[in-house]
Amino acid sequence: MSSIESVLTETRIFAPHETFRQAATVSGLPAYQALCDAAEQDYTGFWAQLAQQEITWHTPFTETLDESNAPFFRWFADGKLNASYNCIDRHLEKRANKIALIFEADNGDVTNITYKELHQRVSRFANALKKQGIGLGDRVIIYLPMSIEAIIAMQACARIGAIHSVVFGGFSAKSLHERIVDVGAKLVITADGGLRGGKAVALKSAVDEALTLGGCEAVTHVIAYQRTGVDIAWNPQRDLWWHDIEAAESDYCEPTWVDAEHPLFILYTSGSTGTPKGVQHSTGGYLLGAIMSMKWVFDHKASDIFWCTADVGWITGHSYVAYGPLALGSTQVVFEGVPTYPDAGRFWQMIERHKVSIFYTAPTAIRSLIKLGGDLPNKYDLSSLRLLGTVGEPINPEAWMWYHKVVGKERCPIADTWWQTETGAHMIAPLPGAIDLKPGSCTRPLPGIIMDIVEEDGTHIEGTGGGLLVVKKPWPSMIRNIWGNEERFKKSYFPEELKGLYLAGDSAHRDEDGYFWIMGRIDDVLNVSGHRLGTMEIESALVANPLVAEAAIVGKPHEIKGESIVAYVVLKGERPEGEAAKAIATQLRDWVGKEIGPIAKPDEIRFGENLPKTRSGKIMRRLLRSLAKGEEITSDISTLDNPAILEQLKQAAG
């Protein structure tokens, strides 16, 4: 591949604030360098020492890394541990009465829960799960709103060695069904409904619908947590109320000690082809990744109030809500609602109210809050903040500067964290007391994370040219497999051409100082509001509509969401125009909302009698992408079978 041109030139540099640097766990560049050198000199020794130090093992491991069946790497494989024990029990001796979770509901009500109370509730729920026949290796689907219960459900599964798979509450019954079947779930945990921005969201009814779709015979029970009190359908043979089954149980549940490689969870994420991929994570290595990144990147201290705004339905809500903060004995804020309700000052008001010191959110949220109230943060006391973070997509330098000035008052470093569902934890991100920041760059890899930029054949790219972002060595919190599909795992992440390098699927370049700049995805995966959406999934959903003959999805840059979704659609009947086109577009958008979930609804739908295709019948997405952006098509279209179609597709229906 000829190297990818970068158009972004950003020269501003921000050194760590002196007071921050002095107090930081890793203070000054030499300290960061020393950690990187230690990892380089003895890679496995470096990780072994951290694993011994940071994790409480039931049985210590003797072998650090087993590469004999690469790329199915095994870390700490003969060690035994329990993730829930590490997140809760080990804090009880010294911090039993420390607040673990500060839960703020959509309407502003606050519920605190200490480590001791969390221990009792997780134990009771774990015992209740056991009573329903759930045990080691069983898969449990969790489809819950952001709540204390969502965290309890995840921790309870971990406690008994059951493997959870959390499905984001915004996904439709169809998407939920697909995941229940693929993972072979035995149990579904849900709520009657959720509350977001003052509106009720139905959850249990989606589970009911999903379970009628077939292939879910393994599901014996549905546990429902009562959140909203709405009327729901009830199947007495199958359904159980959370409060009923929890009440009868004992306050203690002995943790099930599992092998370090035992899957802690499976989380689905979009790929460019086929159905979503069930990303399988381990227990030991995953936990180590979550812990080290909390310490290195968030510089987490016992006195911090930590708040990661991500939903537990995404990897960020796994590593930096359900596991990382608890493993460190942190006090964290958990939020049920949305950043814009009752107004766009909600985040800032909550930071003031709970004295949040570390705040972690997504660029898409930052951009929308700038638009809705760029000076709203000034109305609140944000002096408790000492560190800010971002995740999910590149942050544009202007949004970065606003975050830095208006929220961080030029005092708080910003950790722009690059990572993925598959990496389990941060990979490239500043250690904020050590590394100077450049707006828009995720800076440098974490110690013990060996990244590179290469050509399509795996050759290292010298200098500052762009190319494929890869990881050169296995790391503890890496994906272990795509659930039930070893071939797809190898093909997706360790393609033969790359000779053992992990392919992240992003393009990036490195500047003269060794800083990484992420340029975007190399596959057909869109990044909409920090969430990966497969174009193929949306196309399949559209084609499943009886009106649609053919569909192609492309992304288009969007001021707030990062990327918006443009659909090119060919109907089975005539190409609609005017009001008719608008009505069908609305109908198709709702259809996609129902098939996948509201986040996948196309922002724009354009109808054509056909799509631009090569003579061999391949859809030319490159042209569709240019059309969506409104660019003139100047490239060679001589291979196109039907050039006239381009003119027709320029017109949007809405």
Residues found near ligand PRX in the complex (CB under 6 A): 269, 315-316, 391-394, 416-421, 442, 504-506, 518, 521, 527, 531-532
CB nearer ligand PRX, residue 419 or residue 475: 419
CB nearer ligand PRX, residue 175 or residue 269: 269
Residue 12: count other Cβ atoms within 10 Å of its Cβ.
12
Return all residues near 53 (Cβ < 8 A) that are at least 6 apart. none
562 among annotated binding-site residues = no
CB nearer ligand PRX, residue 376 or residue 518: 518
CA nearest neighbour of 455 among 436, 474, 468: 468
Taking the complex as a whole, how short is the minimal distance between the CB of residue 447 and ligand PRX, in angstroms? 18
197 among annotated binding-site residues = yes
201 among annotated binding-site residues = no
Cα–Cα distance for residue pair 115/101, rounded to 1 Å = 8
Residue 104: count other Cβ atoms within 10 Å of its Cβ.
21
Q: Residue 383, Cα to own-chain centre: how many angstroms?
A: 29
Cα–Cα distance for residue pair 343/364, rounded to 1 Å = 17
CA-based max dimension of the chain: 74
149 among annotated binding-site residues = no
418 among annotated binding-site residues = yes
Taking each continuous run of H as one helix and of E as one strand, the counts in the chain are 21, 30
Helix, strand, coil percentages for the chain (3-state, nearest 5): 35, 25, 45
Which residue intervals of 533-638 are DSSP H helices?
A: 535-543, 578-595, 621-629
CB nearer ligand PRX, residue 551 or residue 553: 553
529 among annotated binding-site residues = yes
506 among annotated binding-site residues = yes
Taking the complex as a whole, how short is the minimal distance between the CB of residue 426 and ligand PRX, in angstroms? 8
CB nearer ligand PRX, residue 345 or residue 555: 555
Omega before 598 within 30 of 0, i.e. cis: no
Cα–Cα distance for residue pair 177/139, rounded to 1 Å = 14
Taking the complex as a whole, how short is the minimal distance between the CB of residue 531 and ligand PRX, in angstroms? 6
Taking the complex as a whole, how short is the minimal distance between the CB of residue 270 and ligand PRX, in angstroms? 8
CB nearer ligand PRX, residue 419 or residue 568: 419
Taking the complex as a whole, how short is the minimal distance between the CB of residue 592 and ligand PRX, in angstroms? 19
Omega before 342 within 30 of 0, i.e. cis: yes
Taking the complex as a whole, how short is the minimal distance between the CB of residue 559 and ligand PRX, in angstroms? 17
CB nearer ligand PRX, residue 417 or residue 477: 417
Taking the complex as a whole, how short is the minimal distance between the CB of residue 508 and ligand PRX, in angstroms? 9
3-state SS string over 184-246? Answer: CCCEEEEECEEEECCEEEECHHHHHHHHHCCCCCCCCEEEEECCCCCCCCCCCCCEEEHHHHH
Residue 646: count other Cβ atoms within 10 Å of its Cβ.
18
532 among annotated binding-site residues = yes
The token pair that represents 559 in the structure block: 């001021």
Return all residues near 523 (Cβ < 8 A) that are at least 6 apart. 271, 272, 505
418, β-bridge pairs = 428
CB nearer ligand PRX, residue 82 or residue 316: 316
196 among annotated binding-site residues = yes
337 among annotated binding-site residues = no
CB nearer ligand PRX, residue 323 or residue 419: 419
The token pair that represents 522 in the structure block: 């190399």
394 among annotated binding-site residues = yes
CB nearer ligand PRX, residue 261 or residue 416: 416
CB nearer ligand PRX, residue 223 or residue 310: 310
Taking the complex as a whole, how short is the minimal distance between the CB of residue 146 and ligand PRX, in angstroms? 16
392 among annotated binding-site residues = yes
Q: Is 437 helix (H, G, I), strand (E, B) or coil?
A: strand
Taking the complex as a whole, how short is the minimal distance between the CB of residue 267 and ligand PRX, in angstroms? 9
548 among annotated binding-site residues = yes
State the number of CA atoms in the 13 A half-sphere of 323 facing the CB: 32
CA nearest neighbour of 536 among 270, 313, 279, 278: 270
Cα dist. 578→190, 333, 653 in Å? 43, 49, 7
Taking the complex as a whole, how short is the minimal distance between the CB of residue 29 and ligand PRX, in angstroms? 21
Residue nearest to ligand PRX (CB): 421
Taking the complex as a whole, how short is the minimal distance between the CB of residue 590 and ligand PRX, in angstroms? 25
506, β-bridge pairs = 521
- Which residues make up each annotated binding site for ATP? 392-394, 416-421, 506, 521, 532
- Which residues make up each annotated binding site for CoA? 196-199, 316, 529
- Which residues make up each annotated binding site for Mg(2+)? 543, 548
